[in-house]
Chain A
């Protein structure tokens, strides 16, 4: 059984078929990449897994659970964490507080226990903070720990968002364009982190990325999409040389050169 199974999923926005009969599987321990031109439906697939949208047809299963039976806020409890293409952090909170919200799925105390800060709440807080501190060390976020998100540079925000997802200790990490807008060095850091996440933490990764350098460096299998339809699946090299993929990128330039410059 695969970790994530998407089966013949279709989603329409009015007349537009954003995702057209797509099937894919993400195996435990792999890094799976989705590539494709703008508007191909990559982020929409993430939003389907997150249950922000209801597919018109198809099935989505995660770790043996039928995700379509759950609501968006139940998805994290199965072990799915994600980042967003346009960074969605809690702006008026510190980095530390953002990462702590990532721990939400592990919370064990309720409102009344929190209000009096019962010993149980106290112990739980210590556990959350220990876990978050590990993420801060892993991503070298110490200098920003107590800074408000509002004042942080773009590159750091991207890392904080990754950290918030990691703090959830997920089984599957969904990364929507983790390297977009990052400098060459920052992209390299990101590549190392994704490798460590896979090999050391044993977390499976599904990512959308335009930077083919990053994609070929970290991912095992790659799926190319265009206009909501699957074009090809295989290794990065196979997909890049696939005729259908080359044709889809015609007019937008070489597949290997797209991506990094766009916002």
Chain B
């Protein structure tokens, strides 16, 4: 059992709750920094590419987490913002803008575009906002086709390589450099995210999530604050989209489809809504499932000579896992981990109802 004694306000503001936590995160940092060493040793960087892909998903997941997990606004259209980021990046690079400028700029413009699209629907609540963003996601593929001069339409567009002061970075020829680049972006965004949550802006987001009526009574401007959340969220998705382009090498009108939007939402629910960790846990699950299915197939085929080739098995499995989480663990994987940790920290005083939540979704329209 651990007691945390806070002796000054600094303790509450600081990034880490206590020394031990800082040590754990330092170890984690060493681990992710050292991961490529393993692949250098084995000489096969294929799996490193998969891990990089998970990190990119986690970046997009953080964007959606901020909006859905922390501001309480659902979105089924985040693949659209990824598409904005990806195509803006391609076009800026094509126009000769250096990557170091093109990359952040495409994120920011995606953020602005996302906010402009979101403004008219921000007044909608819950399921209506979900439907509006769903419609947006369904139209994305068509718009990519219409905007052919910039997107290459159905034929698709090749994504130029990254060039930072003459250093070429390509997913296949320099997988390690690409990994470190994505890792850097992810860590930077986690730091921004943490800062946000421990400052007034982040608190106004969570206030809106928990009770719009009291948020307003505390002086929080709902429209402006939701727009801010949308901006930051779409910016992160845009950055993830640009990186996704570099990772895929080639993008078409079917790359950023509805399935991707839905996968992102599944990801953060499975990972744990309302926690930054949730985006990463979710990305790991989403990244592992296809690999696990493929391995399972090969295993069944080689050992038992059973060939399973059910189309849509992946989606069905996702859906099944999601339903299980909503039914049995609404706080997601991270919530499960928190419970286990609290159990040991408080041992033997843990109570079963410790994490019980008062369910109050959408009570926001009520005035009493």
* Chain A positions near chain B (C-beta within 8 angstroms): 43, 47, 50, 52-53, 71-77, 81-82, 84-86, 88-93, 96-97, 100-105, 107, 109-111, 114-117, 121-122, 124-126, 128-130, 133, 150-151, 164, 168, 176
Q: A93-B210, A117-B199 are in contact. List 15 more A-B contacts (CB 8 A).
A: A47-B367, A72-B216, A73-B222, A88-B214, A90-B210, A93-B203, A100-B203, A101-B207, A102-B218, A104-B219, A105-B218, A125-B199, A126-B13, A129-B9, A129-B12
What total of chain B residues lie within 8 Å of the partner, measured CB to CB? 40
Q: Which chain B residues border A96 with CB–CB below 8 Å? A: 12
A114 to B191 CA separation, bound complex (whole angstroms): 11
Q: Which chain B residues border A50 with CB–CB below 8 Å? A: 216-217
Q: Which chain A residues border B196 with CB–CB below 8 Å? A: 111, 114-115
Say yes or no: A90 contacts B207, CB within 8 Å: yes
- Take A104-B200, A111-B201 as given contacts and tell me if A126 and B9 are in contact as well, using a CB distance cutoff of 8 Å: yes
A10 to B201 CA separation, bound complex (whole angstroms): 37
Q: Which chain A residues border B185 with CB–CB below 8 Å? A: none
Q: Which chain B residues border A111 with CB–CB below 8 Å? A: 196, 201, 228, 232
Could you give 10 example pairs across A and B, Cβ below 8 Å? A43-B368, A50-B216, A52-B216, A76-B219, A84-B213, A84-B214, A114-B195, A114-B201, A115-B232, A130-B9
Interface Cβ pair total, 8 Å cutoff: 132
B79-105 residues with Cβ-Cβ distance < 8 A to A are none
A101 to B219 CA separation, bound complex (whole angstroms): 9
Say yes or no: B13 contacts A114, CB within 8 Å: no
CB closest residue in chain A, given B200:
A107
Over the window 221-252 of chain B, the binary record of Cβ atoms lying under 8 Å from chain A Cβ atoms (1 yes, 0 no) is: 11000001000100000000000000000000
Q: Which chain A residues border B156 with CB–CB below 8 Å? A: none
Say yes or no: A109 contacts B199, CB within 8 Å: yes
CB distance from A168 to the nearest CB of B (A): 7
Q: Which chain B residues border A103 with CB–CB below 8 Å? A: 200
A76 to B217 CA separation, bound complex (whole angstroms): 7
Q: Which chain B residues border A100 with CB–CB below 8 Å? A: 200, 203
Say yes or no: B217 contacts A121, CB within 8 Å: no
- Give the residue of B13, B192, B219 whose beta carbon is less than 8 angstroms from that of A77: B219
A116 to B219 CA separation, bound complex (whole angstroms): 24
Say yes or no: B198 contacts A117, CB within 8 Å: yes
Q: Which chain B residues border A129 with CB–CB below 8 Å? A: 9, 12-13
- Take A91-B360, A109-B199, A125-B198 as given contacts and tell me if A101 and B13 are in contact as well, using a CB distance cutoff of 8 Å: no
CB distance from B67 to the nearest CB of A (A): 14
CB distance from A259 to the nearest CB of B (A): 16
- Give the residue of A82, A130, A150, A151 whose beta carbon is less than 8 angstroms from that of B217: A82
CB distance from B100 to the nearest CB of A (A): 18
CB distance from B3 to the nearest CB of A (A): 12
A48 to B222 CA separation, bound complex (whole angstroms): 18
A43 to B219 CA separation, bound complex (whole angstroms): 19
Say yes or no: B220 contacts A73, CB within 8 Å: yes
- Take A93-B206, A107-B200, A114-B200 as given contacts and tell me if A73 and B219 are in contact as well, using a CB distance cutoff of 8 Å: yes
A164 to B215 CA separation, bound complex (whole angstroms): 11
Q: Which chain B residues border A72 with CB–CB below 8 Å? A: 216-217
Q: Which chain A residues border B217 with CB–CB below 8 Å? A: 50, 72, 75-76, 81-82, 84, 88
Among B196, B206, B215, B218, chain A packs the most CB atoms within 10 A around the CB of B218
A101 to B212 CA separation, bound complex (whole angstroms): 12
- Give the residue of A90, A102, A109 whose beta carbon is less than 8 angstroms from that of B206: A90
Q: Which chain B residues border A52 with CB–CB below 8 Å? A: 213, 216, 367
Q: Which chain A residues border B368 with CB–CB below 8 Å? A: 43, 84-86, 176
Over the window 164-187 of chain B, the binary record of Cβ atoms lying under 8 Å from chain A Cβ atoms (1 yes, 0 no) is: 000000000000000000000000
CB closest residue in chain A, given B72:
A92
Say yes or no: A92 contacts B356, CB within 8 Å: no
Q: CB of B204 within 8 A of chain A?
A: yes
A84 to B217 CA separation, bound complex (whole angstroms): 10
Among A73, A126, A129, chain B packs the most CB atoms within 10 A around the CB of A73
Q: Which chain A residues border B274 with CB–CB below 8 Å? A: 92
CB distance from B94 to the nearest CB of A (A): 29
CB closest residue in chain B, given A76:
B219
Say yes or no: B211 contacts A88, CB within 8 Å: yes
Say yes or no: B357 contacts A150, CB within 8 Å: yes
A93 to B360 CA separation, bound complex (whole angstroms): 14
Say yes or no: B13 contacts A97, CB within 8 Å: no
A219 to B196 CA separation, bound complex (whole angstroms): 42
Q: CB of B152 within 8 A of chain A?
A: no
CB distance from B109 to the nearest CB of A (A): 16
Q: Which chain B residues border A109 with CB–CB below 8 Å? A: 199-200
Q: CB of B354 within 8 A of chain A?
A: yes
- Take A73-B216, A114-B196 as given contacts and tell me if A122 and B13 are in contact as well, using a CB distance cutoff of 8 Å: yes
Q: Which chain B residues border A43 with CB–CB below 8 Å? A: 368
Q: CB of B36 within 8 A of chain A?
A: no
Over the window 1-41 of chain B, the binary record of Cβ atoms lying under 8 Å from chain A Cβ atoms (1 yes, 0 no) is: 00000000110110000000000000000000000000000
CB closest residue in chain B, given A53:
B367
CB distance from A6 to the nearest CB of B (A): 18
CB distance from B118 to the nearest CB of A (A): 16
Say yes or no: B218 contacts A168, CB within 8 Å: yes
Q: Which 4 A-B pairs have the closest CB atoms?
A: A76-B219, A90-B210, A114-B199, A117-B195
